[in-house]
Amino acid sequence: MKDTTRRDSICTIAALLFLVAMFAFGVYLPGKKASAKVIQQISAAEDSIREIPARVAELRMHKRAIAERREYLRNNKSLVPDDVHLHAVLRQVAELARNCNVSVSRLEPAAAPTQESYETLAFHLSFSGDFRGIIAFLNGLERSDRLFKIEELTLSREKAQAKRSTEGEMYFHVYARRDDDSESDENNASLPGSGADTNKR
């Protein structure tokens, strides 16, 4: 009788342990993992929500910057005309130099790369004059109604000269907007095997 009761108790305990193990491995642990995953997702969502004001502020800042740049381009559209106007540039530089008492000994176009959205024309200029006149000439280029970008400038003065004249060499660029950019060096640089345009003068 005692053996039967003991055997029944052992079977009952074994059955209970089996049920507990089934519950633990089949329900509790998967549920705990799923709960931890949900908590992690909720935490990530809360972090994203907290970042929304900062992202909105950043977006507004970018919109303001874009609007300011567009306004700047509209206000300075004349600095980069639709055409380079080679002869007009040569005449403008020569007249400005003459008005500043700067003697031009060389003014000629130089090679320049073609960009994607604009055309570049480079010039090589050799000149001489007194230092004050040269400064006035450079300031005149800077205040011009079109963009002059000085890429390279060298000045020298010979001590033996009686008039103390200053001689200079300069490379500068002028620009024009492009409508057809299919043949630009920037586009060609994006093709396989092409390098980036990094040449400077």
Going by the DSSP 8-state scheme, the letter that residue 176 receives in this structure is E
Q: What is the pLDDT of residue 3?
A: 65
Whole-structure pTM value? 0.50
Q: What is the pLDDT of residue 176?
A: 80
Structure-token pair, residue 187:
């586009």
Burial environment of residue 169 by CB neighbours within 10 A (0 to 12, 13 to 18, 19 or more): middle
- Please give the distance of CA 121 from its chain centroid, rounded to a whole number: 23
Q: Span 143-159, mean pLDDT?
A: 84
Burial environment of residue 134 by CB neighbours within 10 A (0 to 12, 13 to 18, 19 or more): buried
Is-contact 137 80, C-beta < 8 A? no
Per residue in 157-188, pLDDT tens?
Answer: 766 555 678 889 999 888 887 765 444 444 44
Gap between the Cα atoms of 128 and 96, Å rounded: 13
One CATH from 3.30.470.20, 3.10.20.30, 3.30.70.360, 3.30.70.60 for 86-189: 3.30.70.60
Burial environment of residue 116 by CB neighbours within 10 A (0 to 12, 13 to 18, 19 or more): middle
| Furthest C-alpha separation in the chain | 137
pLDDT band at 136 (very low <50, low <70, confident <90, very high): very high
The residue to which tokens 């549920």 are assigned: 31
**124 has a pLDDT exceeding 70:** yes
Gap between the Cα atoms of 120 and 176, Å rounded: 7
